Structures are given as structure tokens and as C-alpha cells.
């Protein structure tokens, strides 16, 4: 990978060049390099397969130049990008594009100004060993981690296969998922005095196992910010297979309103995929958030506290600075049920402050009174699949989303609280089907689902037979218990890592599907 | 960098690379080189936010190792202008990395095969069904060349389209618009001797609106997209599936949002009721419930973890091929040569000539979209559906233009024959079950039908049914077949958002309606 020192040098030198342009009011030079390495696993015992289907990587590097400058009586904002040319020549080409494409954005009032009251974070969140591995070692590591997952899953199945006296083909076992290594480096320099850099590494593994003839499905996953040579994925593969075995014998249950314990994957789907967009300051500005005009109000059960924290030590989503140069930190979103903050970038925060009359109507409070709650700690140039990409504009993204309670419960306490109900471990394609502002959601319960009887997990529920049909804005008011068992969890194509515990909710509406009537 | 610069690449591929393709450990290598030029602009409430005119240049390599136990390795990278000058060197380096990955994979696969006995019987050597190695050039189709469109023109277009939606009615509180036009050229080159040079254009507009009535009812957020695989004439001359200029399209979406802002929530209809779906909506059914599960990689369980399995395929012995899955008037297909929307091409990303694949003929299930590798597993002929969203990404089996074939009945007659039912117009966000066997898809508007006449509009309702039940219930298909453009069909890990086409006519069937609140 391109060295961080080179990115730092070019952003510094590049800024010196850019700011000498006539008419420049403010400018920012950003450089990055990103490697996304993936081992995609497809192992089936009843169909021909390759095991490790795709050992692959995608890489990008580039320079972005953003300028705010005077032209005639207008102030224009321009963005230019040059791929795979980390040099002053690359900066010059990006600058020319930024000048050519500049537009007059009446809401824009400049780039991020460093906040003197915010101390710089010293930690970096990367593994040098992982960052600097060469292609041959990387290829061997990818093959090792991927085939270990398969081996773990087979060993997880062994006892079940013996007990049932089933051949591998008769087992009809599927193992699918991936091991994912993200390595990213970025640096930026701005005329507002920011000169900083960051680098991080993440290892993610997410697996789905299924005994298809039994319609029994389970999941397992792991995430690390650093791995060493002794690291093994064997246990994740074994756990996935055992989760599928535990789901054998699933039963249909009727569609109705249930007391539900949502497991970490389902919680991640509900809180990361469906609730979080409503806590994005851009969505508040658009006016579609279910929390429009509700700042300071109780919007959920008082049991819930929700925050984003990019500085979590060991957090797989941790970053030291944003892609605008802001020191990252903890952003409290919901505290004991009250709406107390939003994820934001500098451009959106500035716009809300500049248009304070409109913003007051949208937020329910004058934004000048809640600057701390709209602090731009989440401006990143993330792309789908990881990386801090120079070609992308800054957007608002979470990092480590943490769900917790001031009255956390053990798993046993949560199950007791529910008494008779259901445990939903994994939801699928759960979307805001009525638009964001309606809060209406729908998705199917596809894996790791169980009946809860007298406070204990009982028999499994048949996957793909229940569809959740409810309203996310109402569901969060019906939280009756939050666990103390957060584990880092990821969703397909999501940016953030959700540190998800069990969450119990009351009166959640499910419809029975696939009855084959 | 211009797409015409790929002339140099084409020459290098013909003269500088053949030796590296055949030397060493690989039995097969293919490379895809892709360059794009385009311009896009974003406007909010008629004001400029950002405009960018840029290019991209990417390369992807697949190698299949012939030593050990045959296995594949991949490598993709975004390139820069300097890589054009040193293309042969860059390509050689990338081929070397892909080979290293394929070798590491084949050795690990071989070791697994030796150690895991019966559990390794399903592990097969990676094999591609032979196809004719083609040498061909396919030019892009356009009248208004995207390369001659300036960033200023696109800025003004975005502003005017956004203003058109905002000024449509006082209920429209927000109007965001993204417009883009571009041209892409891809060169496919394989060690089997294929050299295919294909170009295509793409122009599209996405409208996001927020509407709220004066009574302070819940706001409505609505978005939609139109476009075509043409130059800018797709947007300024209305040469798209909606037959509307971008401004006219914006007004249509604004009009729908205004209707919804005053509409009552859709009632819950908990038994199958007659529904008439307009072409825009049924086209999404063709995509989600027929197209996706007709991708052979899903059917072979290769997407179990993310995109899901297929309700049309259990295993080699138990599947729907030759069985009835819909009413006798239902025919559905995927056809990369069908123009009118996105997803049109002559050759796929491994050089296979694209063919129409009939999924359903007169209610009977026929065939799947495939790749050379998956075709070899089921013993079929490759039909040209292996595509990536960019040369740096590994292709997957993707829909091209998936459609339900048109019928012969005028749409007005289809509606007039309904005594009690619902007319469902357009589509919003779908939530589909894991094997696509059940669905809940939100139309943008639902109108009551009473005695053959369209009545009041409802908001936020969803059409929901088990897939086979719904297709069996179809009793009328209109003579208004239309192809639509979908800008962001997601599949793969990392997620690849790809442009595809969907099509269909007005259709009548039976489904439940989920309550719109």
C-alpha cells in the first residue's frame, strides 16, 4: 500500500499549491488509498462447489481537491478528483476539475474549522502487520482463513451427521459468506489549519449455515481491528454450523402480536438499517425523519440509550479523524429514551445553523442552542464495501453504533421478562416499505429464531414463515428490556459496526407467510 | 483520460500481453479494462449543490490455476492516467497477483480435498463451459454525446428539474434531483483469444420529494428514477421508459406526492383481493420475484448469505423446471438485447454472446440465467448473464432486462372488468423473502376500484402474497408492455449496485393489502 507519509506529504504540498490560486477563500486537499480484500465462501455438500469461490480484492487511490473561491461577484464551491496519481501533478489535475465544475451553493459557508476545545485523539486503529502484508502472504492468508472456516463448519456438523447417520450429500449443508479485510489510509490538509491523517484496518467475517432439507439456518460472525498470524476463523465456521444444527425441527407459529427478544443480527437490522437513517441530520433537514421536530422529547422507551462512538478501543468501526478532519468522538443520539443528538458532517451542521429558522421547525429547537448535539463528527467518504474513497463526496455515516441501557439485563432476565414469546435472531430485507417518514417496516425472519416458553428458549421456529409488519417509530416505544451482551455485528453493505445486545419489545406484529394455501 | 484512449489498451492487449497469458500456472486468464466519461449534477430545491465531470479507468483480472486442484483468483484496481502509459506493465503485475491468489486457492483446495474425504466430494475443479472466442466491436448508441455535455449544462438541468418539482404545488416542501449522463467502454480479452470492445451510454434522473399538506398530516417522502441507455436525449427529449422529459417526470412524481399527502392510509385487506398492477409496478415483480430467483448462482446456493436462494430450485432433483409456477397466460424472460432501459449488452463479462432466456413460458418454468462456470455445473449452454458493475469487481450472474411478456387486453378493459379491487400504480421499496417465495411490495399509489371505476387514492399500503399463489392468479395482461430502468440493483460482497432493466404490461391478479400505517 502507498505509505501514509506519502499521502501526508502530498496533501501538505498540494494545499500550498492550491491556495496560491487567485480568488481562493478556502481549500482542502484529501488523499487516500484503500484495499478491500475478500474471500467469498461457497461450500455445499449436495451441489458441486468451489469452497473458496472468490479470493479477490479491489483497490483504489486518489486525490480530491475542494475549493471555495470568488469568481466575479459569486462564491463558488468546486470538487475535483484524480485517481491513482498521488503526486502534485494529480493535485493540479483535480484542481482544474474543481474550478471547471464549481457551482454556487448558497448554503455553503466554508470548510470545517478546527474546534480548539476538542482534543485530538492519539490512538490509531490499525494493525501494521495486516497493513503491510505483501500480495503472496495476503493470498495465503486469505486461502487459509477461508478454508479454515469450511473446516470448522464440517467439524461442527460431525456429531449431528453421526447421530442422524447422514452422508454429507444427505445433510444438504450450505455454508456461505465471506472473510473481509479492509485496509485504509487517508490524509488531508485545509486552509483552516487542519493537517492530519488516519489509517485503519478491519477484519470481518460473516457466515450463514443451513441444513437445507431441514430448513434449518444459523449465522455466525466476527470482527477485529487487528489480526495476527495465529488468528483463525475455524471457530466462526463451527459456530455457524452449530447454529444451523440447533435450528433443526423448526415449527410454524401463527401470525399475531408477540413479545419478542431480538438477537444481535436482528437488532442491527432494526437499529442500524431502519432507525439510524432517522437520526441523520441530513434526513432531519430533508424533513422525512420520524423524529422531525422532536429534539429533547421522549421518543423511545426510557430503557434505551443509543450512541455512535468512533473512538471505541478495539471497535472495528473506529477512526481517529473524520474525512473532513474533525476529531471523532462519542455522539449521544438517544439517552434514556430522549432524543439528544444527530449524526452529522460539517456541511449539514453549517447549513442547519445558517438557516436556523427553518431548522428550528425541523428539529424542534434552535440549532444554535444544541451545537453539541449536531457536532460534525460523522463526515466520511465511505463507499459501499469499505474504504475512505477520494472519489466520493463527504456523507454522513455511523462508525461504531452502540445500543445500551442504564438498566441492562442478563439474557436470563430478558427471557424471564418476556415469559412467553419469541426470539428472532435474524431479519432479512427489512426495509421502510412505506417511505422513511411513515416508519412502516417489513421484513422476514430467516434464521436463529426460537419460541420462548416460560422464560426459556424452547423449540426453533421454521425460517421464512414469519414476516414482521410494524412501525419502527412505535416499536422503539415498546422496548421492555435491553441486554448487557453487546457484540459487534455487521450488516450487508452497511458502513458501521453495530454493538448490538438482545433487545426485548412488546406487541410486535408478525404475519404468517408461505403457508402454501 | 478519454474512452478513446482505450485504443492504446486494445493495441497493448493484442501485442504486449499474449505471452504472459499463456506462461506459467494459469489454464485460463481473462481481463476486463473499462473507461468511463460522464457528468452528473445534484440540485436541492432548485439550488446547485455539486456538479462533477470526471472519468474512471479500471482493470479486473481472473486467473484459473491449472496446477493443484483447479481454482480461481481475482484482482481488481481503479487505475489512473499514468497507468494508461504503462498499461502493459500494470496489467502484467495484476495478472501476476491474480495468479498468486489462484495458486494459493488451488493448493488449499487440494489439501482440503485430501483431508476431508466424503465432505470434500462436492468440491469440484473450477471449469468454464467453452464458448466461441469472439472478436467484435459494439459501438454506443446516442444522439447527444455525453462527452460533449458540459458541467454547466448539467448544473442547469438539475436546477430546472428540481425547481419543476418544487413549484408544482405548495405541498411540495423539498425537491432533490440528481442527473447524470455518461459513456462507458469495456474491452474484454481472454487467453482463449476473445477480444471484445463494447461501448454504451447511460443517462438518468432521480427525483426525491417531500410533500406535506396544510393540515399537518404525516409527510410523504417519495423518489423515483427514469433513464435509458442513450445520450442526454433520454432526459431532455423524453426518450426514456416514462416518455417524459426530466422536468415532466419530476412533475409526475411531485403530483403523486401531493395526492398521497392528502390520502388516507390504505386499509388492511387480509384475504386475497383483485389487484390491477400498472407496468411500472409489475416490472418490479418481474425483477424481484422472477428475475432474481432465476439467477443460477442463487439457485446453486452461492448467495445464501446475502442475496438469498431461489424458490424455483431446491436441488438437481427437486426444482420447478418443467412445472407450473404461474397461470397459463404468464410468460417471463430476461433479454440483454431488449432496448428501452438499462441492462442492454451484446456480450457479457466473460465474452458470452447474450441471449434471451425464457424463465416462464405459458406458466411453466423453463430456465435460469447463467455464467460459464454455473452452466458447467448444470450442463447447460452459457447464456451471457455474467456481469459486474465495474471492471475492478468480480462479475456475478445479473439480470439484464427481466420482464413479464405483454398480453393483448387494453388496460382500461382490465380495470373496467373489476367489481371490487385495487389499482396499484408505480413502485416504492420492496421487501422480499429470502428465496423470493413471498413478497411485500409497496406501490406508490393504491386506488380503490368499484364497479370498474377508479376511486379514491390510499397511501403507504403494500401488495403482499406468496409468489406462486400470485402468479397462478394472473388472469389478464395488458397490451401496454413497457421497459423501465432500475439504477441500483444490489448483489455481491462488496455490494455491486448495477443498472438493469425491468419490463411488463398492466397485469391483474389477486393479493392481500397490508395496512398503510
CA distance, residue B261 to nearest chain A CA (Å) = 11
- Would you state the pLDDT for residue A43? 98
Q: What's the CA gap between A317 and A313, in Å, rounded?
A: 10
The residue of B47, B78, B171, B310 whose CB has the most chain A CBs within 10 angstroms, and thus the best one to mutate to test that interface, is: B78
CA distances from B296 to A169, A207, B118, B287, B372 (A): 20, 21, 25, 15, 11
- Would you state the pLDDT for residue A314? 82
Which residue in the set A53, A83, A386 is minimally distant from B79, CB to CB?
A83
Let me know: does B431 contact A433? Beta carbons within 8 Å. Answer: yes
Interchain proximity B308–A467, CB inside 8 Å: no
Closest residue by Cα to residue A446 from A471, A470, A425: A425
Res. A244: pLDDT tops 70:
yes
* Interface check A265 vs B, CB under 8 A: no
Of the options 3.40.50.2020, 3.30.2290.10, 3.40.47.10, 3.40.50.2300, the CATH number for the domain spanning A4-246 = 3.30.2290.10
Report the half-sphere exposure of B433 (CA within 13 A, side-chain side). 25
Q: What is the pLDDT of residues A86-99, one digit of tens each?
A: 999 999 999 999 99
At B12, is the pLDDT very low, low, confident or very high (cuts 50, 70, 90)? confident
List all residues of chain A from 202 to 221 with a beta carbon under 8 Å from chain B: 206-208, 210, 212
Helix boundaries (H) for A199-337: 234-246, 264-268, 281-286
Closest residue by Cα to residue A495 from A399, A428, A378: A399
Let me know: does B153 contact B208? Beta carbons within 8 Å. Answer: no
How many Cβ contacts (< 8 angstroms) between chains A and B?
Answer: 314
Phi, psi of A9, rounded to the nearest 5 degrees: -65, -45
Higher pLDDT, A232 or B81: B81
Q: What's the CA gap between A305 and A221, in Å, rounded?
A: 24
Res. B18: pLDDT tops 70:
no
- Locate the chain A residue with the closest alpha carbon to B299: A47
Res. A516: pLDDT tops 80:
no
Res. B318: pLDDT tops 60:
yes
Degrees, nearest 5: CA angle B491-B497-B500: 90
At A119, is the pLDDT very low, low, confident or very high (cuts 50, 70, 90)? low
Res. A123: pLDDT tops 70:
no
Interchain proximity B81–A433, CB inside 8 Å: no
Across the range A17-25, mean pLDDT stands at 96
Name the β-bridge partners of A508. Answer: A258
Res. B269: pLDDT tops 70:
yes
Interchain proximity B173–A434, CB inside 8 Å: no
At A106, is the pLDDT very low, low, confident or very high (cuts 50, 70, 90)? very high
Which residue in the set B48, B97, B517 is minimally distant from A104, CB to CB?
B48
* Interface check A158 vs B, CB under 8 A: no
CA distances from B423 to A262, B454, B455 (A): 36, 7, 9
Interchain proximity B52–A79, CB inside 8 Å: yes
CA distance, residue B408 to nearest chain A CA (Å) = 30
Please confirm whether the linkage preceding A329 is cis (ω < 30° from 0): no
* Interface check A45 vs B, CB under 8 A: yes
Which residue in the set A44, A82, A471 is minimally distant from B301, CB to CB?
A44
At B234, is the pLDDT very low, low, confident or very high (cuts 50, 70, 90)? very high
The length of chain A is 517
CA distance, residue A264 to nearest chain B CA (Å) = 16
A93: chain B residues, CB-CB within 8 Å: 81
List all residues of chain A from 307 to 346 with a beta carbon under 8 Å from chain B: none
* Interface check A56 vs B, CB under 8 A: yes
**ipTM for this prediction:** 0.95
- Would you state the pLDDT for residue B9? 93
* Interface check A437 vs B, CB under 8 A: yes
Question: What is residue A277's DSSP assignment?
Answer: G
Q: What is the pLDDT of residues A322-341, one digit of tens each?
A: 999 999 999 999 999 999 99
Contacts of A452 (CB under 8 A, 6+ apart): A259, A261, A415, A418, A419, A420, A421, A422, A423, A458
Res. A262: pLDDT tops 80:
yes
Helix, strand, coil percent values for chain B (each to nearest 5): 25, 40, 35
* Three-state DSSP state, B114: helix
Contacts of B339 (CB under 8 A, 6+ apart): B229, B483
The residue of A145, A156, A438 whose CB has the most chain B CBs within 10 angstroms, and thus the best one to mutate to test that interface, is: A438
CA distance, residue B460 to nearest chain A CA (Å) = 5
Interchain proximity B116–A169, CB inside 8 Å: no
B222: chain A residues, CB-CB within 8 Å: 435
Give me the torsion for CA of B234, B237, B240, B245, rounded to 10°: 110
- Would you state the pLDDT for residue B67? 78
Helix, strand, coil percent values for chain A (each to nearest 5): 30, 40, 35
In chain A, where the domains are located: 4-246, 257-512
- Cell readout for B112 is 482440503
B221: chain A residues, CB-CB within 8 Å: 286-288, 435-437
Res. A120: pLDDT tops 70:
no
Q: What's the CA gap between A77 and A7, in Å, rounded?
A: 24
Q: What is the pLDDT of residues A384-402, one digit of tens each?
A: 678 999 999 999 999 999 9
CA distance, residue A102 to nearest chain B CA (Å) = 7
Q: What count of other Cβ atoms lies within 10 Å of the Cβ of residue A132? A: 11
* Three-state DSSP state, B455: strand
Sort B22 into a burial class: Cβ within 10 Å, 0-12 / 13-18 / 19+. exposed
- Locate the chain B residue with the closest alpha carbon to A210: B304
* Three-state DSSP state, B117: helix
Residue where the block lists cell 487542519: A194
Res. A225: pLDDT tops 80:
no
Residue where the block lists cell 404490461: B505
- Cell readout for A81 is 478528483
pTM: 0.96
B308: chain A residues, CB-CB within 8 Å: 428-429
CA distance, residue B47 to nearest chain A CA (Å) = 7
The residue of B71, B221, B435 whose CB has the most chain A CBs within 10 angstroms, and thus the best one to mutate to test that interface, is: B221
Let me know: does B319 contact B380? Beta carbons within 8 Å. Answer: no
Res. A422: pLDDT tops 80:
yes
Write the DSSP assignment of B298-324 as a string of letters: HHTTTTTTTT---TTBSSSSSB-TTSB
- Would you state the pLDDT for residue B46? 98
The residue of B179, B494, B510, B516 whose CB has the most chain A CBs within 10 angstroms, and thus the best one to mutate to test that interface, is: B494
Closest residue by Cα to residue B470 from B294, B286, B326, B330: B326
Let me know: does B286 contact B505? Beta carbons within 8 Å. Answer: no
Ramachandran area for residue B374 (φ above 0: left; ψ -120 to 50: alpha; else beta):
alpha
Helices (H) and strands (E) in chain A, counts: 12, 21
Res. B388: pLDDT tops 60:
yes
- Cell readout for A220 is 455466525
Let me know: does A349 contact A396? Beta carbons within 8 Å. Answer: no
Which residue in the set A103, A207, A446 is minimally distant from B434, CB to CB?
A446
Q: What is the pLDDT of residues A36-68, one digit of tens each?
A: 999 999 999 999 999 999 999 999 999 999 999
Give me the torsion for CA of B139, B144, B149, B153, rounded to 10°: -160
Q: What's the CA gap between A248 and A242, in Å, rounded?
A: 10
Name the β-bridge partners of A195. Answer: A189
The residue of A31, A55, A244, A266 whose CB has the most chain B CBs within 10 angstroms, and thus the best one to mutate to test that interface, is: A55
Closest residue by Cα to residue A332 from A402, A284, A405: A402
Res. B499: pLDDT tops 90:
yes
Please state, rounded to an integer, the average pLDDT across all residues of chain A: 94
Contacts of A159 (CB under 8 A, 6+ apart): none
Res. B228: pLDDT tops 60:
yes
* Interface check A382 vs B, CB under 8 A: no
Which residue in the set B71, B441, B494 is minimally distant from A386, CB to CB?
B494
Question: What is residue B289's DSSP assignment?
Answer: I
CA distances from B231 to B39, B184, B488 (A): 11, 11, 19
Closest residue by Cα to residue A387 from B94, B32, B392: B392
- Would you state the pLDDT for residue A231? 81
Largest CA distance in chain A: 82
Phi, psi of A251, rounded to the nearest 5 degrees: -120, 150
CA distances from A103 to A95, A285, A297, A424, B235 (A): 14, 21, 38, 49, 21
Let me know: does A497 contact A398? Beta carbons within 8 Å. Answer: no
Q: What is the pLDDT of residues A439-456, one digit of tens each?
A: 999 999 999 999 999 999
CA distance, residue B238 to nearest chain A CA (Å) = 26
B377: chain A residues, CB-CB within 8 Å: 47-48
A57: chain B residues, CB-CB within 8 Å: 74-76
The length of chain B is 517
Interchain proximity B108–A82, CB inside 8 Å: no
Res. A229: pLDDT tops 70:
no
- Which run of H or E residues covers position A117? none
At B205, is the pLDDT very low, low, confident or very high (cuts 50, 70, 90)? very high
B466: chain A residues, CB-CB within 8 Å: 513-517
- Would you state the pLDDT for residue A172? 97
Across the range B187-211, mean pLDDT stands at 97
Q: What is the pLDDT of residues B26-73, one digit of tens each?
A: 889 999 999 999 999 999 999 999 999 999 999 999 999 987 799 999
Interchain proximity B430–A435, CB inside 8 Å: no
**Domain B3-262 classification at class level:** alpha beta
- Would you state the pLDDT for residue B420? 97
Let me know: does A465 contact B460? Beta carbons within 8 Å. Answer: no
B401-414 as b/e, with b when 16 or more CB fall inside 10 Å? bbbbbbbebebeeb
Question: What is residue A461's DSSP assignment?
Answer: B
- Cell readout for A487 is 457484540
List all residues of chain A from 475 to 494 with a beta carbon under 8 Å from chain B: 492-493
In chain B, where the domains are located: 3-262, 264-514
DSSP-derived pairing of the beta strands B496-504 and B401-404: parallel
A509: chain B residues, CB-CB within 8 Å: none
- Would you state the pLDDT for residue A48? 97
Q: What's the CA gap between B376 and B125, in Å, rounded?
A: 11
A178: chain B residues, CB-CB within 8 Å: 305, 493
CA distances from B427 to A121, B277, B278, B445, B486 (A): 46, 10, 9, 8, 11
A180: chain B residues, CB-CB within 8 Å: 493-494
- Locate the chain B residue with the closest alpha carbon to A351: B49
* Interface check A438 vs B, CB under 8 A: yes
- Strand ranges inside B116-268, DSSP E: 135-138, 172-190, 195-211, 220-228, 264-265
Phi, psi of A216, rounded to the nearest 5 degrees: -115, 120
Which residue in the set B74, B121, B220 is minimally distant from A437, CB to CB?
B220
Report the half-sphere exposure of A173 (CA within 13 A, side-chain side). 35
Interchain proximity A136–B462, CB inside 8 Å: no
Q: What's the CA gap between A332 and A296, in Å, rounded?
A: 12
Q: What count of other Cβ atoms lies within 10 Å of the Cβ of residue B178? A: 21
Amino acid at each position: 500500500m502507498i505509505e501514509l507519509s506519502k499521502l501526508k506529504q502530498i496533501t501538505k504540498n498540494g494545499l500550498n499549491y492550491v491556495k496560491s490560486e487567485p480568488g481562493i477563500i478556502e481549500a482542502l486537499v484529501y488523499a487516500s488509498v484503500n484495499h478491500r480484500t475478500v474471500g467469498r465462501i461457497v461450500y455445499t455438500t449436495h451441489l458441486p462447489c468451489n469452497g473458496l469461490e472468490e479470493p479477490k480484492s479491489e483497490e483504489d487511490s486518489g486525490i480530491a481537491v475542494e475549493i471555495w473561491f470568488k469568481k466575479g461577484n459569486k462564491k463558488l464551491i468546486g470538487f475535483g478528483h484524480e485517481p491513482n496519481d498521488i503526486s502534485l501533478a494529480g493535485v493540479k489535475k483535480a484542481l482544474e476539475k474543481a474550478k471547471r465544475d464549481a457551482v454556487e451553493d448558497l448554503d455553503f459557508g466554508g470548510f470545517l474549522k478546527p474546534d480548539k476545545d476538542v482534543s485530538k485523539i492519539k490512538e490509531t486503529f490499525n494493525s501494521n502487520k495486516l497493513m503491510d502484508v505483501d500480495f503472496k502472504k495476503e493470498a495465503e492468508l486469505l486461502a487459509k482463513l477461508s478454508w479454515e472456516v469450511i473446516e470448522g463448519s464440517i467439524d461442527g456438523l460431525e456429531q449431528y451427521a453421526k447421530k442422524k447417520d447422514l452422508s454429507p450429500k444427505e445433510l444438504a449443508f450450505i455454508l456461505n459468506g465471506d472473510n473481509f479485510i479492509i485496509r485504509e489510509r487517508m490524509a488531508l490538509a485545509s486552509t483552516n489549519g487542519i493537517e492530519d491523517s488516519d489509517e485503519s484496518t478491519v477484519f470481518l467475517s460473516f457466515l450463514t449455515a443451513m441444513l437445507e432439507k431441514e430448513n434449518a439456518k444459523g449465522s455466525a460472525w466476527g470482527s477485529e481491528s487487528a489480526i495476527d498470524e495465529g488468528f483463525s476463523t475455524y471457530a466462526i465456521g463451527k459456530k455457524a454450523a452449530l447454529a444451523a444444527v440447533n435450528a433443526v425441527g423448526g415449527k410454524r407459529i401463527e401470525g399475531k402480536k408477540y413479545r419478542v427478544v431480538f438477537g444481535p443480527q436482528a437488532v442491527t437490522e432494526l437499529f442500524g438499517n431502519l432507525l439510524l437513517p432517522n437520526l441523520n441530520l441530513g434526513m432531519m433537514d430533508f424533513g422525512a425523519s420520524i423524529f422531525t421536530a422532536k429534539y429533547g422529547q421522549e421518543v423511545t422507551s426510557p430503557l434505551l440509550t443509543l450512541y455512535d462512538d468512533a473512538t471505541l478501543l478495539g471497535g472495528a468501526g473506529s477512526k481517529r479523524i473524520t474525512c473532513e478532519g474533525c476529531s471523532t468522538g462519542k455522539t449521544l443520539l438517544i439517552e434514556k429514551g430522549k432524543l439528544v443528538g444527530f449524526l452529522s458532517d460539517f456541511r449539514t451542521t453549517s447549513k442547519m445553523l445558517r438557516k436556523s429558522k427553518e431548522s428550528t421547525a425541523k428539529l424542534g429547537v434552535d440549532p444554535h442552542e444544541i451545537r453539541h448535539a449536531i457536532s460534525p463528527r460523522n463526515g466520511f467518504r465511505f463507499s459501499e464495501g469499505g474504504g475512505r474513497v477520494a472519489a466520493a463526496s463527504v456523507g454522513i455515516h455511523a462508525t461504531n453504533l452502540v445500543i445500551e441501557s442504564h438498566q441492562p439485563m442478563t439474557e436470563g432476565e430478558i427471557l424471564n421478562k418476556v415469559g412467553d414469546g419469541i426470539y428472532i435472531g435474524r431479519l432479512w430485507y427489512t426495509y421502510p416499505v412505506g417511505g422513511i417518514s411513515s416508519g412502516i417496516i417489513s421484513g422476514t425472519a430467516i434464521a436463529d429464531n426460537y419460541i420462548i416458553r416460560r422464560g426459556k428458549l424452547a423449540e426453533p421456529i421454521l425460517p421464512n414463515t414469519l414476516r414482521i409488519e410494524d412501525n419502527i417509530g412505535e416499536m422503539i416505544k415498546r422496548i421492555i428490556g435491553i441486554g448487557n451482551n453487546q457484540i459487534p455485528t455487521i450488516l450487508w453493505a452497511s458502513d458501521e459496526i453495530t454493538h448490538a445486545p438482545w433487545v426485548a419489545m412488546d406487541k410486535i406484529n408478525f404475519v404468517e407467510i408461505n403457508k402454501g394455501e | 483520460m478519454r474512452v478513446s484512449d482505450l485504443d492504446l489498451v486494445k493495441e497493448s492487449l493484442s501485442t504486449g500481453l499474449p505471452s504472459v497469458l499463456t506462461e506459467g500456472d494459469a489454464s485460463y486468464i481473462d481481463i476486463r479494462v473499462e473507461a468511463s466519461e460522464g457528468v452528473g449534477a445534484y440540485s436541492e430545491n432548485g439550488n446547485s449543490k455539486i456538479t462533477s465531470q470526471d472519468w474512471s479507468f479500471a482493470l479486473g483480472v481472473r486467473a484459473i490455476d491449472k496446477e493443484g486442484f483447479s481454482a480461481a483468483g481475482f484482482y481488481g484496481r481503479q487505475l489512473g492516467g499514468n497507468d494508461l502509459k504503462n498499461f502493459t506493465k500494470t496489467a502484467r503485475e495484476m495478472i501476476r497477483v491474480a495468479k498468486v491468489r489462484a495458486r494459493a486457492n488451488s493448493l488449499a483446495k487440494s489439501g482440503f480435498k485430501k483431508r476431508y474425504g466424503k465432505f470434500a466430494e462436492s468440491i469440484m475443479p473450477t471449469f468454464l463451459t467453452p464458448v466461441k472466442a469472439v472478436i467484435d466491436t459494439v459501438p454506443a448508441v446516442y444522439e447527444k454525446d455525453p462527452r460533449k455535455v458540459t458541467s454547466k449544462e448539467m448544473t442547469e438541468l438539475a436546477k430546472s428539474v428540481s425547481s419543476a418539482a418544487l413549484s408544482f404545488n405548495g405541498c411540495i416542501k423539498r425537491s432533490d434531483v440528481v442527473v447524470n449522463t455518461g459513456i462507458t467502454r469495456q474491452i474484454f480479452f481472454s487467453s482463449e483469444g476473445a477480444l471484445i470492445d463494447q461501448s454504451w451510454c447511460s443517462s438518468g434522473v432521480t427525483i426525491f420529494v417531500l410533500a406535506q399538506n396544510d393540515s399537518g398530516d404525516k409527510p410523504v417522502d417519495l423518489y423515483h428514477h427514469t433513464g435509458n441507455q442513450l445520450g442526454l436525449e433520454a432526459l431532455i427529449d423524453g426518450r426514456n421508459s416514462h416518455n417524459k422529459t426530466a422536468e415532466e417526470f419530476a412533475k409526475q412524481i411531485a403530483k403523486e406526492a401531493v395526492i398521497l399527502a392528502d390520502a388516507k392510509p390504505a386499509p388492511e385487506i387480509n384475504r386475497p383481493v383483485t389487484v390491477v398492477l400498472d407496468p411500472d409496478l409489475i416490472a418490479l415483480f418481474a425483477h424481484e420475484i422472477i428475475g432474481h430467483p432465476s439467477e443460477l448462482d442463487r439457485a446453486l446456493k452461492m448467495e445464501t448469505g446475502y442475496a438469498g436462494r431461489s424458490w424455483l430450485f431446491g436441488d438437481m432433483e427437486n426444482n420447478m423446471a418443467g412445472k407450473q409456477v404461474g397461470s397459463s397466460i404468464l410468460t417471463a424472460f430476461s433479454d440483454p438485447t431488449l432496448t428501452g432501459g438499462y441492462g442492454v449488452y451484446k456480450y457479457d463479462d466473460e465474452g458470452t454472446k447474450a441471449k434471451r432466456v425464457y424463465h416462464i413460458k405459458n406458466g411453466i418454468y423453463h430456465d435460469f440465467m447463467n455464467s460459464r462456470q454455473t452452466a458447467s455445473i448444470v450442463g447447460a449452454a452459457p447464456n451471457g448473464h455474467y456481469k459486474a458493475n465495474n471492471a475492478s469487481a468480480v462479475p456475478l450472474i445479473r439480470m439484464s432486462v427481466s420482464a413479464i411478456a405483454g398480453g393483448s387486453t387494453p388496460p382500461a378493459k382490465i380495470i373496467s372488468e373489476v367489481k371490487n379491487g385495487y389499482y396499484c400504480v408505480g413502485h416504492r421499496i420492496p421487501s422480499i423473502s429470502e428465496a423470493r417465495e413471498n413478497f411485500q411490495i409497496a406501490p406508490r399509489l393504491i386506488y380503490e376500484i368499484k364497479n370498474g371505476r377508479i376511486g379514491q387514492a390510499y397511501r403507504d399500503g403494500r401488495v403482499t402474497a406468496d409468489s406462486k399463489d400470485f402468479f397462478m392468479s394472473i388472469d389478464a395482461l395488458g397490451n401496454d408492455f413497457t421497459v423501465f430502468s432500475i439504477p441500483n440493483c444490489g448483489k455481491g460482497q462488496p455490494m455491486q449496485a448495477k443498472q438493469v432493466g425491468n419490463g411488463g404490461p398492466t397485469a391483474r391478479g389477486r393479493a392481500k393489502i397490508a395496512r398503510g400505517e
